[in-house]
Amino acid sequence: MYDPEQYEKKERTGFHLFAEGVSRKEGNRYLFGLLKFMASVFGVILVSCIVLRFLILGPVSCASLNSKKIAPPMIDGELALRYAQETFDLGPKVFRTEGAKKSAEWIVEQAQKIPGFEKAGRVRIPPSAHGEYNVEIIFPGKEPNFVIVGAHHDTKRLFSVPDFAGANDGASGVGALLAMAAAITEYTQKELPPCTIRLVFFDGEEALYQYTETDGLVGSRAYVDMMKQDYSKLSCRAMILLDMIGDKDLHIDLAGNSTPALANVVISEAAAAGYADKFSLGETDMLDDHYPFLQAKIPAVDLIDFSYGPENRYWHTGADTMDKISAESIKTAADVALRAVWRLAETGFEDLKK
């Protein structure tokens, strides 16, 4: 008997099933080929967009990939003043004396006492090359490129004032950097800084006799040499120096031999923070701790108020005492320095190319 269903099943077990199988294979091949073509076209478009963006806007730093920006930290001015008072109370800290050594050790102790510091950063006294006791505090950031913010912790040897301890010329910079360390530590509880930051306290900035290649700027020269030897100089993008930034009547004239592009960033950030009247581009070159960095082709700027008292009379005299400096002045300089660091990092250091 003719059974259409049985016949259909029988017929489909032969040539028809073979033909259907071939059709499925061809269909799969066609679909796979179409998907492959679409993927290649998408890839070409994506690469073209990336190349076009690079040509128009330049390279993107790791920090700039962060979609949510947090404002730069600001220091506690009163804390900075307390640090300055305590380092002042240590007495003279002349290069190659026990006073300079104790000062360095005290700075290390203060950094280690900052709540949460052990997770945020690290501090050490680098090996000495010429009898100096430098101190560095390092905060790892979102990228290994780093900016140095520095100050000197030694004091001038004055035979006329044997107990000279340097409130503005020494202690104000130390207070600023330690307060910055506290502010950055707190900031890291939210996120990492946009780049690595080194806070460096230099020894031997003051010349024992007169500035020569071997007298004065000893700590900063040694630090630059160390960076050359360990190749970290390759990742150092800028250096910002704070010197004599505590004067109650503060007006910072950036040293004339500062890197122009970096000086412009500082001036811009000072204005943005409301301190335009406190900062200006100076014309006088300074032989200061930023100078060895300039010699090493590292952009550097010197934030210094070299008008301390009437006609600078308080400088390197017994009149450089704590009653002449203020928390507000130290905070002003330190906050602008931090803003400059964040600005540089978040723009991929492009401002330094202008």
Query: What DSSP string runs through 102-137?
Result: HHHHHHHHHHHHSTTHHHH-EEE-PPPSSS---EEE
Which residues are within 8 A (CB) of 16 and not within 5 positions of it... i.e. 6 or more apart?
Answer: none
Q: Report if pTM > 0.85.
A: no
Per-residue pLDDT, 42: 57
Per-residue pLDDT, 19: 43
Positions of the chain with pLDDT under 50: 1-19, 21-22, 47, 49-67
Encoded tokens for 293: 């960095």
The 10s digit of each residue's pLDDT in 184-229 is 999 999 999 999 999 999 999 999 999 999 999 999 999 999 999 9
Give the torsion sign (CA, 309, 317, 302, 325): negative
Backbone angles phi, psi at 148, to 5 degrees: -100, 130
Per-residue pLDDT, 67: 41
Per-residue pLDDT, 234: 97
Per-residue pLDDT, 313: 97
Per-residue pLDDT, 70: 78
Per-residue pLDDT, 354: 82
Angle at the Cα of 318 (from 314 to 319), degrees rounded to 5? Answer: 40
Per-residue pLDDT, 45: 58
Burial letters for 243-257: b for 16+ Cβ neighbours within 10 Å, e otherwise? Answer: bbbbbeebebbbbeb
What is the C-alpha to C-alpha distance for residues 298 and 266, in angstroms, rounded to an integer?
Answer: 16
Task: Tell me the three-class secondary structure of 221-237, residue by residue.
Answer: HHHHHHHHHCCHHHHEE
Q: Please give the sequence-ordered ranges of beta strands (E in DSSP) within the chain, or none if there are none.
A: 122-124, 135-139, 146-152, 196-202, 236-243, 252-254, 279-281, 300-304
Per-residue pLDDT, 23: 54
Encoded tokens for 209: 């006799």
